[in-house]
Amino acid sequence: MIVRNYNWTNKPFWDIYVSEIDGDQLKDPEVFDRRLNGKLHDGPVSFSNDGNYLAFTKNNPHDKTKDKIVELQIYFSNFQDGDWSDPEPFILNNEKYSVGHPCLTSDGLTMYFVSDMPGGFGGTDIYRITRDAKGLWGKAENLGVNVNSTGDEMFPFFEEKNGKLFFTSNGHYGLGGLDIYECWINEPGFGNAYNVGYPLNTRYDDYAFIGNNELTKGYFSSNREGGSGGDDIYSVGIKAPDEPEVLFTVYSPENIATERMVRETFPLRNYIFFDIGSTDIPDRYILLKKDQVNDFREDRLEQFVTIDLPGRSKRQLIVYYNVLNILGDRMLKNPSSSIKLIGSSELGPNDGSKMSESVKTYLTTIFGIDASRISTEGRYKPKLPSEQPGGILELELLREGDRRVSVESSSPALLMEYLSGPDAPLKPVQFVASQTAPIDSYVAFNATGANKAFSSWSMEISDEKGEVQHYGPYTHDTVSIPGKTILGTRPMGDFKVTMVGKTKLNKTVIQDTTVRMVLWNLPDNEEGLRFSIIYEFNDSDAILIYDKYITEIVLPKIPANASVIIHGYTDVIGEEAYNLNLSLARANDVKQIMEKGLSKAGRSDVSFEVHGFGEDENLSQFNNKYPEERFYNRTVIIDIIPKK
């Protein structure tokens, strides 16, 4: 669990000692309590504020793992009648992995700890757990990607007064070896981790920082040069931090487009998702009667809609929920085509086969497709599962996404251009629709530095009459809101925008600016283009599949001097900060491919704008209720806007 495996050094085992503080030094240490010290390593220790309850780390004396690495466990003790009670084990102690390095909050009801249990981000991760009034511990919460890395995080110390977490890591960018990091805890999430820098951190191992209640003095361990040998304890004085600066600005388009006609090439997911416990096609999918087949057309899908769909993504969901009808119609028109239906169920291959047979029965009965053209298969997991071995977070949502029938085909007539093979996506559907809040109509509110300075910030937007709109709270630096949302029915308006930020020291910061917004009715003949790239869960390789499609299909359709706006999104699974970064990284990947292709074509007339909106449900294209909506939210959208 610790970087150096101390039981291999032939040095004495570690025990728990106590020492009084004398200025900047510690007096002669004494054994804390022989009852708590075991035969192997003991420590670190954490106390509740009243000093009557402690948690500490012990080596598991009964460990018999094949790798001969002794795992760590957490134990608790109460101070009663002048003595410490016999140690009681933590409920999560396990001989298959370690739990250790406890850090209790002052009331003793919440504990931060370290573990290499399955489902983490790397080696050892930091977790948080809370117990109720009866003393029962709840579910452990991984602190997420802002804190945990693919390396090892350990020695958490939570400074409650300012809400700051200190920890040690070899996985974040550092000065060498183990380094000490800090992050602000913004309920319900965590801020970005920052290296505390020199002189605490050096190229040696520096770790296990703790501070006093006022955070004016701290202690940490290091094996740096100049010590007494091995790992030594150091003290450090802490200066009050300077208040971080935040720069608040607003960018509004010169003219805010009210709506735009857009010719969209919409990707068709080759998945049919099934409800847990059922092998029937869910009733949210649009299913035809046999006498409706002759009237079915891809460009007239609305006539068969009998369910109420969300307005924001209604046209797109109409396309997707017709996936079986589109597939049946294409197979009718291409009699040499064939498909394979693979049903994946958490209950096993038999249940998965029943799901795929439900789809096959619909296609053969309603569309009259010869059964020999459709093969079926059942399995536990899809080829590209969302749930990964050892995962512990948001399993219900991930399993909903894995319970599906996948459509595979090697028939070019059914597949996206320039793609082939059984895993190729189905051919997209094209349609023209009115876009009521075009991406270029968004007003950007930038609070540069807010993520580091604020626990949260919000906005008050006042018009000429003093009417106020409230937005927030937010935790990241940039927020985009459709201009039409702010203007409402007004054709134009002058607004005072007030940013109200709460610092992590609970101070209020207020900044004002003004902005003018003007609606613009686009010419009737202006038509934009939209293309989408879709991803699997936590997938970054989809862009490699779409490279040729972007180069050969999308780029030639960009008119001269056009603007291209690329915006990335994710579903709500995972950490918000991670999803925000992921969506921006994906959008930039698309931009690089487009710029490279345009450069090869000798074009430099196209301007680009890139956004990553993450899981922001105010901006995401779909809701997150059903797995298909979450799957479609894993996307990068390319909007091509002609020169005004």
HEC-encoded secondary structure of 236-282? EECCCCCCCCCEEEEECCCCEECCEEEEEEEEECCEEECCCCCCCCC
Grouping H, G, I as helix, E, B as strand and the rest as coil, residue 95 is coil
CB atoms within 10 A of CB 417: 13
Largest Cα span, the chain: 92
Answer whether residue 290 shows pLDDT above 50: yes
Q: What does the pLDDT read at residue 3? A: 37
Q: What's the CATH number for 530-644?
A: 3.30.1330.60
Q: What's the CATH number for 6-237?
A: 2.120.10.30
Q: Which residues pair with 636 in a beta bridge?
A: 533, 568
b/e map 201-227, b = 16+ CB within 10 Å: bbebbbbbbbbeeebeebbbbbbbeee
- 475 sits in the region (left: phi over 0; alpha: psi -120 to 50; else beta) called alpha
Contact, 341 vs 377, CB < 8 A? yes
Band the pLDDT of 11: cuts 50, 70, 90.
very low
Contact, 77 vs 134, CB < 8 A? no
Phi and psi dihedrals of 498, rounded to 5?
Answer: -110, 120
Q: Do the strands 217-222 and 194-195 form a parallel or antiparallel pair, or are they unpaired?
A: unpaired
The token pair at 533 is 């790239």
Round the CA-based radius of gyration of the chain to a whole number and report it. 29
Q: What's the CATH number for 247-257+437-520?
A: 2.60.40.10
Contact, 23 vs 146, CB < 8 A? no
Nearest C-alpha neighbor of 459 from the set 248, 294, 210: 248
Contact, 485 vs 437, CB < 8 A? yes
Band the pLDDT of 65: cuts 50, 70, 90.
low
Contact, 591 vs 547, CB < 8 A? no
- For 118-172, the three-class secondary structure string (H helix, E strand, C coil) is CCCCCCCEEEEEEECCCCCECCCEECCCCCCCCCCEEEEEEECCCCEEEEEECCC
Band the pLDDT of 607: cuts 50, 70, 90.
very high
One fold for 270-424 and 530-644: yes
Phi and psi dihedrals of 493, rounded to 5?
Answer: -175, 150
The token pair at 174 is 């550092």
Between helix 349-366 and helix 323-333 the angle, nearest 10°, is 60
The token pair at 46 is 């954490």
Arithmetic mean of pLDDT over the chain: 86
Q: What does the pLDDT read at residue 18? A: 75
E strands, 475-572, are 478-482, 492-503, 508-520, 527-534, 563-569
Q: What does the pLDDT read at residue 6? A: 41
Q: How far apart are the first and last CA of the chain?
A: 61
Q: What does the pLDDT read at residue 568? A: 93
Domain residue extents for the chain: 6-237, 247-257+437-520, 270-424, 530-644
Band the pLDDT of 241: cuts 50, 70, 90.
low
Contact, 613 vs 413, CB < 8 A? no
- For 297-348, the three-class secondary structure string (H helix, E strand, C coil) is CHHHHHHHCCCCCCCCCHHHHHHHCCHHHHHHHHHHHCCCCCEEEEEECCCC
Nearest C-alpha neighbor of 619 from the set 564, 566, 570: 570
Residue 433 or residue 636, greater confidence: 636
Which of the four CATH numbers 3.40.50.2300, 3.30.930.10, 1.10.533.10, 3.30.1330.60 does domain 270-424 have? 3.30.1330.60
Lowest mean pLDDT among 401-410, 411-420, 537-546: 537-546
Band the pLDDT of 9: cuts 50, 70, 90.
very low
Band the pLDDT of 390: cuts 50, 70, 90.
low
Q: Residues 6 or more apart from 347 whose CB is under 8 A from it?
A: none
Place of tokens 């074509």: 601
The average pLDDT across 605-626 equals 90
Answer whether residue 626 shows pLDDT above 60: yes
CB atoms within 10 A of CB 164: 19
Q: What does the pLDDT read at residue 392? A: 62
Alpha-helix residue ranges (DSSP H) falling in 367-489: 395-402, 450-453, 483-487
CB atoms within 10 A of CB 522: 18
Q: Which residues pair with 479 in a beta bridge?
A: 445
pLDDT per position as a tens digit, 410-467:
999 998 887 667 778 899 999 888 877 788 889 999 999 888 788 889 999 999 999 9
